[in-house]
Amino acid sequence: MTEDRDNFGYSDYTVYKQMHLQAILQTHLRVCEAVFRKNDWPHKIYHYFDLHAGPGLYRHNGRIIKGSPMLFLDAWMAVGLNCRAVFFEIEDDRRTALIKNLSVILRRTPLNISVAFHGDHLKFLPCYFDQDAQRPRKKFGLIYADPSGSLPPFELLARFFEGKGYSTLDVLLYCSPTNLKRQLKASTCPVQKRLGDYLELIPKRHWIVREPYGPHQWTFLIGTNWTDFPTFERLGFYRWDSARGKEIFDQLNFTREELAA
């Protein structure tokens, strides 16, 4: 079990992150299960990519916290779709802990899943790019990015979604736009792009955003091409073309001074 001293960015808001992630995964798997049941055209395997997997389980203040890989397995086992899950974790110790933690569960499940573990997603995600330029079967599932303080790998995600087979795969990001806004004004290496510019790199027609939490404005962003994607309003998520969604996007894109001007 990974201990507190190895904590990788646990904050007061992590508990909400894990709660909301669990709700998103459960609903997403159920919706995909219904699509597979009713249609012949999709590739009937749920694809899950976790770009920042962590150790799977860790201890914080004496409590055991389930990380995203564990939450995914819990949600997947309740639905039981054929599945391919790919976990990326750059730190060797955490990746070893993750393999150990997941194998305890995977050994016991009779369900059909293939699992792969890799290090740096920048190096290994390209192994999963969809090279089929013709008419690939549409793949359903989710790619999740949960960096601690840095930006999600937007350019990498843009290249991933060039694959036509992934147009039906959704993207989930957890990030802090405050850090990005601070970099806009940094004296060294200022960035030129705002959150909205980065999101535009990813070819998704709809974005759903969660109310930001805390001074770092921790938020979830869901990118999808499904017009009827569930919105999770009871958890504080809004489509970006709704009135509240637009307000939140402005808050995330612009500094307080810019909004007041």
Ligand X SMILES: C[S@@+](CC[C@H](N)C(=O)[O-])C[C@H]1O[C@@H](n2cnc3c(N)ncnc32)[C@H](O)[C@@H]1O
Residues of this chain that bind ligand X (CB under 6 A): 8-9, 52-54, 67-68, 88-91, 94, 120-122, 146-148
Q: Which is nearer to ligand X, 61 or 187 (CB)?
A: 61
How far apart CA 229 and CA 145 sit, in angstroms, is: 19
Shortest CB 194 distance to ligand X, Å? 22
Q: What is the closest distance, in whole angstroms, from the C-beta atom of residue 15 to ligand X in the complex?
A: 11
State the CB neighbour count (10 A cutoff) for residue 120.
11
User: What are 168's two structure tokens?
Assistant: 């039906």
Q: Which is nearer to ligand X, 121 or 254 (CB)?
A: 121
* Number of residues that make up the chain: 261
Q: Give the shortest CB-62-to-ligand X separation in angstroms.
A: 17
Minimum distance from CB of 192 to ligand X (Å)? 22
Q: In Å, what is the CA distance from 248 to each residue of 61, 67, 102, 195?
A: 32, 27, 36, 12
Q: Which residue's CB is nearer to ligand X, number 68 or number 168?
A: 68
Nearer of residues 89 and 170 to ligand X, judged by Cβ:
89
Could you tell me the smallest distance in angstroms from the CB atom of residue 219 to ligand X? 14
CB of 138 to ligand X, least distance (A): 26
Nearer to ligand X, 35 or 106 (CB): 106
| Cβ distance to ligand X smaller for residue 8 or 116 | 8
Angle value at C-alpha 8, between 2 and 13, nearest 5 degrees: 110
Residue 178 CB, nearest distance to ligand X (Å)? 16
* CB closer to ligand X, 146 vs 170: 146
Measured from each CB, the residue nearest to ligand X is: 67
